[in-house]
Structure 1
């Protein structure tokens, strides 16, 4: 059941009168619901002509936008034709598309559009966004979009948001640009506190969950640089243990494959105290050993490591999953041939994966056994790439990142399984 808009939510819908209208800021701050309501009105009353809805992928567009629309207006008035790239909304056909790489611009070449809805705009290639601007050529055409903040040097921030004609700011005031080069764009900035309908306990939990960079972006709604140490919340005194509790489930192995670079694998389990533990590490550095191993030798070493690991008098573990860097296709084939169960491609999305690890460390639901020397050596020095940040990109330095990558694979690929541990531990602490 959706509630009536209030405060900044309502104001933004009344101010969405420009050629471009963008809701940006914190997660769960009501950006999406406000923008959807404006879009629904536009579909009914806007100028005639083709319409377009775009997400990072069609799958995320369906999950983030189309499914909520169906819930709001009913499945008879909103019909999504999966695979056809079309949505029928209020009897009007709307094209749907994903825009997750540079080839996306080809999808809209030649189109003449009367309007567009854009989800997760910062994930689009710049070429796609600029191409879209040339396609909205029907008189009085408008676009409406949402996004979370990125770095202040992101192309969307520098070239568009900084030049907006009107800005509904995070403090609720309206700034109108007097710059003659301002573009016909209205920008609406939200923080987490701008959603009056979120339960107080939920808001507090989100504020505790995010730390550092992700707190500033996803709670405060700031466009800030990714700089310094990635895992600045890591504290050896807090996160390193000499003894493990009973492990109730061996959840996963995260594995970063290397030939010339180090090969690193981490064993992660869930303890009887409802916390995650990196219990053991298998690592081979060809440079130090002065010998590269074959896929078969790595497979043998990995399986031997799992078979020999001993915990509380029990020898040998069989994790539910073995998540491997997707680029290591030949090694996965070797593991399948050798009968190792649970082998799967890791979710190797870098920034989202870093956020998952940051949440686990920041909420103190993750500890590392002192024997994991490679990981403990990399965590304190793993840093953001300042040169990439100046280009508007969030990327860590590709230096001494093999065990931290393995950790990211293990935790991000299983995030849906362990996120509830955060809530459990917060309730216990309360």
Structure 2
């Protein structure tokens, strides 16, 4: 088992009550823990009073980030599965494995004495969970190991790490501290995050505030992301080209606007294996731009007309005898906050386009949606046609909310088109993990 210079430094110096690694993704922070630190700490305290605990964002993230990597090294004979009591047997000892996103999830250990705790993705925890943990490490031999990626500089964890009066060993990582990563992988990852807040945090490992343009690379040069979808490719194209038959999946996002915003429709296409993500067509309907108030019947009509335009422009027709199917126009995802409008849209779409599936949007974390889109843009996997003028404007104008100090938040005060961004993100949020893996 080969370790980097940085990882060996951690093993030697992590002798404090709190031992935390903060820094870039894929920099080797977690590997030294799963390969050496966690088994060593647990075995070192075997037979002593107190609980062993692993805390992560969720039990599934603990399995993915901690237990499975340990199992690959030590086999399932030493690294067990999490049972119905939230306990996994590790190196012959019982270890509680609990999600730290909500206080209620760790109630089972509230009041218990903890001899060892490992923390995964600490900056994503609920602050109250961390506060509770501090009072539970009450043995002379109690200690904590953990790792995190940086967030904003006023984050509660950053304030804890900056407290010189506490017994803390803090080790900082950049992506360049991992000598085992292929150089081309590091180069590509840097390229994906270049010019964004995520470069400072996830490449350089800095606690930086989110400010300015969110999609800076796009805002600086939207033409670089322009593409055309054609029946046949041209010999000397001005823009990136795709054949219509290459678009294997078209889905439509719909975000309902309020009094100060508009209803936004966005059609998104995928090429095979999620390789390319294409904004095919977008439209924003503002009440002030119509001659009458937009009621549910008018909205149904406008949206179905938009679907027909998408089908006419980008749909691939397959005939089965007398039956015609547009095989690549598949689903609609609508804003689940508006149940009545959503039900009306579903009924209208199913009546006019009976093969199409209409579902509520998942509405995943906005930050996760932003980060996925930023990486797609940086990796050269995101494209937009001339039929997406409202979506292009939305990406160009999107900025961070500078008035919010304690979290990263997209500005949503009516001055920018958040609705079109939401509508687009509804079409990719269910495949974000696959999209990022493909990137």
Q: TM-score, normalised by structure 1?
A: 0.84
Question: For the structure 1 residues 62 and 279, does the alpha-carbon distance in structure 2 shift closer, same or farther, using more than 3 Å as the test?
Answer: same
Question: For the structure 1 residues 60 and 334, does the alpha-carbon distance in structure 2 shift closer, same or farther, using more than 3 Å as the test?
Answer: farther
- The reply on whether 1:324 has 2:326 as its aligned counterpart is no
Question: For the structure 1 residues 62 and 324, does the alpha-carbon distance in structure 2 shift closer, same or farther, using more than 3 Å as the test?
Answer: farther
Distance 1:62 1:329 in 2: 35
Which of 16, 20, 24 matches 2:14? 16
Distance 1:254 1:284 in 2: 14
Match of 1:38 in 2: 37
Q: Is the 8 A contact 2:188 2:379 kept in 1?
A: no
What is the deviation of 1:219?
A: 1.2
- The answer to which of 15-24 and 403-412 deviates more is 403-412
Please give the root-mean-square deviation of Cα atoms over the aligned residues, in Å: 2.7
Match of 2:216 in 1: 232
Match of 2:428 in 1: 411
Match of 1:173 in 2: none
What is the deviation of 1:229?
A: 0.8
Distance 2:366 2:207 in 1: 19
Match of 2:243 in 1: 246
Question: For the structure 1 residues 189 and 286, does the alpha-carbon distance in structure 2 shift closer, same or farther, using more than 3 Å as the test?
Answer: same
User: Match of 2:216, SS?
Assistant: coil
Distance 1:71 1:335 in 2: 48
Runs ≥4 residues deviating over 6 A: none
Which of 408, 411, 416 matches 1:394? 408
Q: Is the 8 A contact 2:225 2:382 kept in 1?
A: yes
Distance 2:368 2:179 in 1: 27
What is the deviation of 1:28?
A: 0.8
Distance 2:298 2:2 in 1: 62
What is the deviation of 1:330?
A: 5.0
Question: For the structure 1 residues 379 and 111, does the alpha-carbon distance in structure 2 shift closer, same or farther, using more than 3 Å as the test?
Answer: same
What is the deviation of 1:281?
A: 1.4
Partner deviation per Cα, 1:124-161 (whole Å, 9 max, x = no partner) = 1211111110111122100111100111111111x221
Match of 1:384 in 2: 400
Match of 1:352 in 2: 368
Residue pairs, 1:142-221, within 5 angstroms: 142-157=143-158, 159-163=159-163, 181-211=164-194, 212-221=196-205
Distance 1:185 1:326 in 2: 44
Match of 1:266 in 2: 266
Q: TM-score, normalised by structure 2?
A: 0.83
Question: For the structure 1 residues 185 and 101, does the alpha-carbon distance in structure 2 shift closer, same or farther, using more than 3 Å as the test?
Answer: same
Q: Is the 8 A contact 1:15 1:186 kept in 2?
A: yes
Partner deviation per Cα, 1:32-80 (whole Å, 9 max, x = no partner) = 0112221110111124321111111111111111111222211121212
User: Match of 2:49, SS?
Assistant: coil
Distance 1:82 1:330 in 2: 41
Question: For the structure 1 residues 418 and 133, does the alpha-carbon distance in structure 2 shift closer, same or farther, using more than 3 Å as the test?
Answer: closer
User: Match of 1:207, SS?
Assistant: helix
Partner deviation per Cα, 1:193-238 (whole Å, 9 max, x = no partner) = 1112112222222222222211111111111110101111112221
Q: How many residues align?
A: 399
What is the deviation of 1:334?
A: 5.0
What is the deviation of 1:305?
A: 2.1
User: Match of 1:233, SS?
Assistant: helix
What is the deviation of 1:375?
A: 1.6
- The answer to which of 11-20 and 299-308 deviates more is 299-308
Distance 1:148 1:161 in 2: 13
User: Match of 2:81, SS?
Assistant: strand
Match of 1:26 in 2: 24
